[in-house]
């Protein structure tokens, strides 16, 4: 494990710098949109551009990486992300901002693909889960640190935009000067969301809703905090609390799912998260500690993705888990791309409380769906459930296990494929004897 981390230190260092910039720019644009008096619905659409770009990038960039290699792709995409953030303060226009968020999302999707395929190539089966968990820690740590960097300069000026561009450019240095050999990249067959739904309906629905909540909380969170009259320092603490809540509860919830079952924990997380959101919508920020409240909401919502990934992987063979994550990332990205606009639309009609209401509704819907699924299929027994791993999305596709699809067909139609095969063999033997 430590040897692999040592071999990949340029990648981890570059990624940490990039995530600091990513965490800063998401909150900065939300605050700056409020300063520029952008309509909240327009701002929601602008923020959705990033997640839409992630979807396009996960589909297009693998071909580019396969053609020109990891290091060249990383350099080109980082340069693209560095340039796009600067255009935001040159052209203060919603349409320009939406296009630039789309470009930024596309570039970051490519950076994730390069990083994660590089790590997967370096890791052995025994260390892959630990390595990707460390990678996820780097991602979340960078996002959290980026919130504090809001206090470095006035969001109304150009300084923070330049700082983000500089950080993204600096991230290229450790990658480009590394003496480590980049791996060869082999694009894999993609998996449709429909195929994943056949394997695990709850898993794919949960991943989509996790994306909606992430797009809502991370995209509209700074705008909500700004609408409450919080200053820049308070907004940065608000967003930091949200992310740290997700970090703190990731591992405990995951380990609990190993003990009592994934579905039970998914039900608990979504039901309690929904109740807290509904409770928060009835209060004013002065009634409770706002930072503690948003940390709880972040803890219950930002853990849903990892839980649903683990739940889906329980129905896949070992060799299919990395491959199938491409379809899960696509589903999560689609959810995230509509999360911010839906929340902005709700807030424009119902006021600031709509921020909590919409997240409570979508979380509650997953809890209800999970309870219904419990009546349709028994959960996997404890001895066949894999160990929980906090894993980051890996936009690489693959094929699913046909045996699992047969099991779904058997359950849906109350038939036994094995018995049918035996009957067909006997029929063929009888026909052969007669002829």
Whether the CB-CB separation of 46 and 99 falls below 8 Å is answered with no
What pLDDT is attached to residue 361? Answer: 94
Whether the CB-CB separation of 398 and 62 falls below 8 Å is answered with no
Residue whose C-alpha is closest to residue 353's, from 430, 407, 283, 304: 283
What pLDDT is attached to residue 317? Answer: 61
Residue ranges, the chain, pLDDT below 50:
179, 382-384, 392-415, 417, 420, 424, 435
Residue whose C-alpha is closest to residue 302's, from 243, 388, 239: 243
**Helix 40-68, helix 94-122: angle, nearest 10:** 40
Q: Which residue has the tokens 């889960």?
A: 129
Cα 198 from Cα 410, distance rounded (Å): 12
336-373 per-position pLDDT tens digit: 989 999 999 999 888 888 999 999 999 999 999 989 88
Where along the chain do its domains lie?
A: 2-178+186-400, 405-435
Cα 42 from Cα 293, distance rounded (Å): 27
CATH of domain 2-178+186-400: 1.20.1250.20
What pLDDT is attached to residue 270? Answer: 93
Whether the CB-CB separation of 236 and 148 falls below 8 Å is answered with yes
Burial class (CB in 10 A: 0-12, 13-18, 19+), 225: buried
Whether the CB-CB separation of 83 and 99 falls below 8 Å is answered with no
Farthest CA pair distance, the chain: 90
Residue whose C-alpha is closest to residue 343's, from 352, 334, 332, 331: 352
Whether the CB-CB separation of 28 and 147 falls below 8 Å is answered with no
Cα 244 from Cα 240, distance rounded (Å): 6
Cα 422 from Cα 11, distance rounded (Å): 54
Q: Sign (positive/negative) of CA torsion 211, 18, 139, 233? A: negative
What pLDDT is attached to residue 323? Answer: 56
Question: What pTM was estimated for this model as a whole?
Answer: 0.78
Whether the CB-CB separation of 45 and 336 falls below 8 Å is answered with no
152-201 per-position pLDDT tens digit: 889 989 999 999 999 988 888 876 776 455 555 555 555 677 877 887 88
- Buried/exposed 308-345: b ≥16 CB within 10 Å, e otherwise: bbbbbbbbbeeebbbbbbbbbbbbbbbbbbbbbbbbbb
């Amino acid at each position: 494990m430590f040897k692999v981390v040592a071999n990949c230190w340029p990648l981890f260092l570059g990624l940490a710098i990039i995530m600091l910039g990513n965490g800063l720019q998401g909150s900065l644009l939300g605050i700056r949109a409020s300063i520029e008096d952008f309509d909240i619905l327009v701002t929601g659409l602008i923020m959705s551009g990033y997640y839409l770009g992630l979807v396009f990038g996960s589909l297009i960039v693998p071909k580019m990486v396969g053609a020109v290699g990891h290091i060249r792709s990383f350099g080109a995409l980082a340069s693209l992300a560095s340039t796009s953030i600067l255009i935001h303060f040159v052209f203060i226009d919603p349409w320009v901002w939406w296009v630039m968020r789309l470009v930024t999302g596309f570039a970051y999707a490519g950076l994730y693909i390069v990083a994660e395929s590089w790590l997967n190539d370096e890791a052995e089966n025994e260390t892959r889960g630990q390595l990707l968990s460390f990678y996820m820690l780097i991602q979340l740590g960078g996002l959290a640190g980026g919130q504090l960097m809001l206090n470095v300069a006035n969001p109304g000026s150009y300084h923070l935009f330049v700082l983000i561009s500089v950080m993204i450019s600096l991230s290229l240095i450790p990658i480009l000067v590394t003496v480590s050999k980049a791996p060869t990249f082999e694009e894999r067959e993609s998996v449709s969301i429909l195929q994943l739904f056949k394997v695990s309906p709850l898993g794919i629905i949960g991943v989509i809703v996790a994306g909606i909540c992430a797009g809502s909380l991370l995209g509209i969170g700074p705008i909500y905090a700004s609408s409450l009259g919080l200053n820049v320092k308070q907004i940065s603490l608000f967003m930091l609390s949200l992310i740290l809540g997700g970090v703190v509860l990731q591992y405990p919830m995951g380990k609990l799912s190993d003990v009592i079952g994934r579905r039970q924990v998914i039900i608990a997380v979504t039901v309690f998260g929904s109740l807290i959101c509904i409770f928060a919508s009835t209060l004013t920020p002065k009634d409770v500690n706002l930072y503690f409240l948003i940390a709880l909401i972040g803890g219950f919502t930002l853990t849903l993705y990892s839980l649903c990934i683990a739940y889906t992987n329980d129905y896949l063979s070992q060799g299919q888990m990395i491959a199938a994550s491409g379809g899960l990332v696509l589903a999560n990205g689609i959810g995230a791309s509509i999360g911010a606009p839906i929340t902005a639309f709700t807030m424009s009609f119902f006021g600031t409380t709509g921020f909590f209401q919409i997240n409570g509704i979508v979380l509650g819907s997953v809890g209800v769906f999970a309870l219904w699924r419990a009546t349709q299929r028994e959960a996997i027994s404890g001895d066949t459930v894999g160990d929980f791993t906090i894993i980051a999305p890996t936009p690489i596709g693959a094929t699913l296990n046909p045996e699992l699809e047969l099991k779904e067909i058997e359950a849906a139609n109350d038939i036994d494929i094995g018995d049918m095969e035996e009957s067909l063999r006997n029929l063929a033997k009888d026909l052969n004897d007669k002829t």
